[in-house]
């Protein structure tokens, strides 16, 4: 059921929540859509129970909504996310005097199972960038771009959306740092190494001028028609490169972010420094990568120790 099909008061509350997320919380359009999808699901369930106004929402309504989704086979992680969205929505509605008492205060959802993110071994990263370099040796603009994107993704651990949104002026070639606009419009500065610097410089000198048009603007990376590269294009490029390795289950640009973080910690980097580089608001998120490193240590021990 779309927002337009909901009772007027429910639809109005959902739209107000979306405006709050965008204007006051600085959430991206993508994030707002995800929140509204969850809220829309909740309100559609409420409407099916005869509720026409947010003030009629009760704890039982929320529990039955989550229960129905659990019975449909929804994962624990998704249930936990939707529960958090419901709590955010009702808390906002209370502040806006749309609801008198928050029905989600005692709402509980199963904790998501923590899974270790897939990471590449360092030798796989070497093969990945060597493959990109071999393709770029021919000098085709898109191959030069792809090599620069992969080098920069691994060197900095930036998110794919952050890479797509970068402008040329975000680079500081002298200091080899990159200005990144992350989630919630938070800005951070991230260093990158010489291989990434060389790949980006090659792209800017030989690749980008061949694709640039009068409407390219300041975008760092361009598509085949000269417009700013989008996230879908980046994901497609990285997915093909990872599939070409043939010996990893890692998929997409986020695997390079996971790998960068894990390799930094394996090399002795401070946890808080990695948190700053990745742009995590919570140290607990960064700590997931310490579990990855410990697991890799255990694997190495089991393989190498005669009495493991």
Q: Which residues are catalytic?
A: 159, 183, 254, 257, 280, 289
Cα-only R_g, the chain: 23
Which tokens go with 151?
């080098």
The pair of structure tokens assigned to 226 is 């000269």
Which DSSP state fits 219? B
User: Shortest CA distance to 182 belongs to which of 240, 257, 119, 263?
Assistant: 257
| DSSP track, 250-283 | --SHHHHHHHHHHHHHHTT--HHHHHHHHT-SSH
Q: Which structure tokens are listed for 228?
A: 């700013």
Query: Which residues, other chains included, contact 113 with Cβ-Cβ below 8 Å and sequence gap of 6+?
Result: 76, 77
242: left (phi > 0), else alpha (psi -120 to 50), else beta? Answer: alpha
Distance CA 170, CA 254 (A): 21
User: What does the DSSP assignment read for 48-70?
Assistant: HTT--SGGG--HHHHHHHHHHHH
Which run of H or E residues covers position 188? strand 187-191
């Amino acid at each position: 059921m779309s927002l337009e099909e909901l009772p007027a008061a429910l639809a109005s509350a959902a739209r107000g929540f979306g405006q709050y997320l965008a204007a006051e919380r600085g959430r991206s359009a993508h994030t707002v859509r995800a929140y509204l999808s969850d809220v829309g699901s909740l309100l559609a369930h409420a409407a099916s129970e005869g509720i026409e106004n947010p003030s009629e929402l009760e704890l039982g309504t929320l529990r039955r909504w989550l229960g129905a989704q659990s019975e449909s086979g929804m994962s624990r992680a998704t249930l936990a996310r939707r529960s958090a969205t419901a709590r955010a929505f009702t808390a906002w509605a209370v502040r806006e005097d749309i609801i008198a008492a928050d029905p989600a205060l005692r709402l509980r959802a199963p904790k998501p199972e923590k899974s270790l993110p897939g990471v590449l071994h360092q030798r796989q990263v070497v093969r990945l960038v060597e493959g990109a370099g071999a393709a770029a040796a021919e000098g085709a603009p898109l191959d030069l771009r792809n090599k620069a994107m992969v080098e920069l993704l691994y060197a900095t651990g930036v998110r794919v959306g952050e890479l797509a949104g970068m402008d040329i002026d975000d680079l500081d070639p002298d200091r080899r740092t990159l200005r990144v606009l992350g989630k919630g419009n938070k800005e951070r500065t991230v260093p990158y190494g010489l291989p990434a610097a060389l790949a980006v410089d090659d792209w800017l000198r030989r690749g980008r001028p061949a694709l640039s048009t009068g409407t390219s603007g300041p975008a760092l990376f361009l598509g085949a028609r000269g417009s700013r590269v989008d996230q879908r294009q980046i994901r497609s490029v990285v997915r093909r490169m990872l599939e070409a390795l043939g010996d990893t289950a890692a998929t997409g640009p986020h695997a390079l972010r996971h790998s960068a973080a894990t390799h930094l910690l394996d090399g002795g980097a401070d946890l808080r420094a990695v948190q700053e580089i990745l742009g995590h608001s919570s140290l607990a998120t960064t700590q997931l990568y310490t579990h990855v490193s410990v697991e890799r240590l255990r694997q190495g021990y089991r393989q190498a120790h005669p009495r493991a």
